[in-house]
A and B are shown apart, each in its own frame.
Chain A
Amino acid sequence: MTTKEATQEVKTVRRPDPLERVNTWPHFLIIEFIGLMIFTGLLIILSIVLRAPLLELAQPEYTINPAKAPWYFLNLQELLLHMHPTLAGVLLPTVALILIAAIPYIDKDEAGTGVWFTSRKGWAITKFSFIYTTVWVVGLVLFSEFIGTRQALSLLGLPPAVVDVLGGIVVPIVVMSVIPGLLVSIVRRRWQADTRHVIIALFTMFVASYVVLTIIGTGFRGDSMRLVWPWQLEHPK
């Protein structure tokens, strides 16, 4: 039998009914066990070849440059560069977490439960939202780095205190409201999105900004947190 024939042979076999109930032991436990074994094996190999970092003893008087938080907080640290620290470090993550926790109480329609992306429309919206957010985030980071809200505002001749409030708080809040708002109106108009699909767009926006900001913070921030290319990064000493 050739490979092609063998494949056809397999295809004609009727698939088991997916709603058939099977015993947890062994059908489910074997999947969990194999998954855990694969991960344990890979992590053991990783731990043999790669050492966990350990620099010099902590010295409060010598700041390492750049001083970076753990990678999963680098998105917040990245935001600190662009707005008031209270807004970036406390208010924004708190509001984001509360909104995420509130999702089930906003999107209550049970249609599409148990189906990846709910529908073809959901998958299209996810892709669109991811690209939309990535373009905005990268664009805003570049704007902030090379022009800067404060610099742009001070060109208008405003007093420094006003520039601080506008550039650190007002402008970021406006930007962070208008961009999701625009996304929602696009998604509603183009795909006639219902609540579930709007939530998909907004949650994808959160995921995309989390991921993109983490990548920028990890791979593109060098000396004094200036933008650099990843190959220009030096290990902190």
Chain B
Amino acid sequence: MKDDKGRVHRERGLYGLFLRIWGAFRRTELFKSIYMSDYPYNRRTQVLAVMNNLFLHLHPNRVTRYSINYRYTLGLGGLSFGMFLILAITGVFLMFYYVPSVPDAYFSVRALGTDVFMGQFFRNLHRWTAHVMVLLVFLHMLRVFYTGGYKGTRKFNWVIGVVLFVLTLLLSFTGYLLPFDQLAYWAITVGVRMGGSSPIIGDQVRILLLGSHDIGQATIVRWYTLHVLFLPAIGFWLMLLHFWRVRKDGFSATRPILVEDHPVLGPVKEEARG
């Protein structure tokens, strides 16, 4: 393995063997055809690795130490996206078994706990991750607010963020009905009653939400479609836009305009001046 100055290090044992195999693979035509640049082992290739990767490309190539300090961002936005990924993966697993109809929806969810290998585990993971995501998105909003991250060029990204917060709630809420047990049924009854009390168009809103006058087959199909297709698709594209704007608008912490010492976490002034 070469370091920054081109010196070669020889490792011994199993790790050395792994490095030799990995090194050989890196020289193959296959590896070079997959990655546009070499494995990121020095400053130049590290920049190229981010630049030449569709997914990492949403990040800037280089960031200031201050803006990636976990005490500043707390990692909440990235973690929210991480929760979205876990939900997408566990969600696909649940879709294999879920039947969106009355009353089969309930029995298919119950069967996850009795007939499906790891079924209960994936359902638990999906549900708890969903709760955690709602919490993280909310906390992310608080973080951006209290650090004044919405100012200047970042104005519109805050608005996108508010829309994403609403989408997160809607995703969670549409998923809440799907097990079609007593808890789901009555929670959705309460929720829809709220939406149904809209002035003037209340009844129309109710019908739009339920697909009928009561929660039933039509409601499940509607909410299932929204939950697994429409809302995640919209959310995914808005997330990409959100991350891309973070990069284009510049991190709020790159040029901190300093007021006083950090009120909670210590003296930022001296730190940020460097």
Q: Which residues of A contact B (CB under 8 A)?
A: 15-29, 31-32, 35-36, 39-40, 43-44, 46-48, 50-60, 62-64, 67-73, 76-77, 80, 85-86, 88-91, 97, 100-101, 103-105, 107-120, 122-124, 126, 196, 200, 203, 207, 236
Find out whether the CB atom of A57 lies under 8 angstroms from the CB atom of B186. no
CB of B73, distance to nearest CB on chain A (Å): 9
B43 touches A23 (CB 8 A): yes
A35 touches B198 (CB 8 A): no
B24 at the interface (CB under 8 A from A): no
Q: Is the CB of A116 within 8 A of B146?
A: yes
Q: How far is the CA of A104 from the CA of B252 in the complex (A)?
A: 13
B interface residue numbers (CB < 8 A to A): 40, 43, 46-47, 49-50, 56, 59-70, 72, 75, 78-79, 82-83, 86, 103, 106-107, 109-110, 113, 120-121, 123-129, 131-132, 134, 138, 142, 145-152, 154-156, 158-159, 162-163, 166, 169, 172-173, 176, 179-187, 189-191, 193-195, 197-199, 202, 214-215, 252-265, 268, 271-274
**What's the least CB distance linking A14 to chain B, in Å?**
10
Inside 8 A of A20's CB, which chain B residues have their CB?
Answer: 64-65, 274
Q: Is the CB of A86 within 8 A of B190?
A: no
User: Is the beta-carbon distance between A22 and B63 smaller than 8 angstroms?
Assistant: yes
| A–B pairs, 14, beta carbons within 8 Å | A18-B272, A19-B274, A20-B274, A27-B68, A31-B70, A35-B82, A39-B132, A43-B128, A62-B182, A90-B194, A110-B152, A113-B256, A122-B146, A203-B145
On chain B, the residues within 8 Å of A120 by CB distance are 260-261, 263
- By beta carbon, the residue of chain A nearest B154 is A104
Instruction: A36 to B263: give the CA distance in the assembly, Å.
Output: 28
Docked-complex contact B65 and A103, CB < 8 angstroms: no
Identify which of A29, A58, A108, A116 contacts B147 (C-beta below 8 A): A116
Q: Is the CB of B60 within 8 A of A116?
A: no
Which of A50, A67, A115 is within 8 Å of B128, CB to CB?
Answer: A50
Q: Are B65 and A22 interface neighbours, CB within 8 A? A: yes
| Chain B residues with CB below 8 A from A90, complex form | 194-195, 197-199
Contacts A23-B46, A23-B61, A57-B106; A32 near B75 (Cβ below 8 A): yes
A85 — which chain B residues lie within 8 A by C-beta? 193-194, 197
Cross-chain contact of B61 among A24, A47, A115, A118 (Cβ < 8 A): A24
A39 to B83, CA, bound (A): 9
Q: How far is the CA of A123 from the CA of B263 in the complex (A)?
A: 6
Task: For residue B202, give the distance in angstroms from its CB to the closest CB of chain A.
Answer: 8
**Closest CB in chain B relative to A96 CB, distance in Å:** 10
The reply to whether A47 and B121 contact each other, CB–CB distance below 8 Å, is yes
Is B159 within 8 A of A101, CB to CB? yes
Q: Which residues of A contact B132 (CB under 8 A)?
A: 39, 43
B169 & A72 in contact (Cβ 8 Å cutoff): yes
- For the complex formed, measure the closest distance between the CB of A183 and the CB atoms of chain B, giving whole angstroms: 17
Interface of B is mostly: helix
Q: Is the Cβ of B155 less than 8 Å from the Cβ of A24?
A: no
Q: How far is the CA of A62 from the CA of B109 in the complex (A)?
A: 21
A57-B181, A67-B186 in contact; A104/B150 too (CB < 8 A)?
yes
A116 proximity list for chain B (CB < 8 A): 72, 146-147, 262-265, 268
A32 and chain B: residue at smallest CB distance: B78
* Contact of B184 (CB < 8 Å), options: A58, A73, A110: A58
Q: How far is the CA of A54 from the CA of B109 in the complex (A)?
A: 9
Chain B residues near A57 (CB-CB < 8 A): 103, 106-107, 180-182
Complex contact A63–B199 (CB within 8 A):
no
Q: Find out whether the CB atom of B40 lies under 8 angstroms from the CB atom of A25.
A: yes
Q: Which residues of A contact B66 (CB under 8 A)?
A: 18-19, 114
CA gap between A25 and B149 in the complex, in Å: 24
What separation, in Å, do the CA atoms of A89 and B254 have in the docked complex?
Answer: 40
| Contact assessment for A70 and B62 in the assembled complex, using a CB-CB cutoff below 8 Å | no
Question: Which residues on A sit within 8 Å (CB–CB) of B254?
Answer: 19, 114
Cβ–Cβ < 8 Å partners of A118 in chain B? 148, 259
Q: Are A67 and B187 in contact, CB atoms less than 8 angstroms apart?
A: yes
Question: Once bound together, how far apart are the Cα atoms of A60 and B213, in whole Å?
Answer: 12
Q: Are A115 and B268 in contact (CB under 8 A)?
A: yes
The contact of B257 among A62, A68, A112, by CB within 8 Å, is A112
How far does the Cβ of A58 sit from chain B's closest Cβ, in whole Å?
A: 4
Extra A-B contacts (13), CB below 8 Å, given A47-B124, A51-B113? A24-B61, A25-B46, A35-B70, A46-B124, A47-B128, A50-B128, A54-B109, A54-B113, A73-B194, A89-B193, A100-B162, A112-B148, A119-B260
Set of chain A residues within 8 Å of B271, measured between Cβ atoms: 15, 18
Contacts of A39 in B (CB 8 A): 79, 82-83, 132
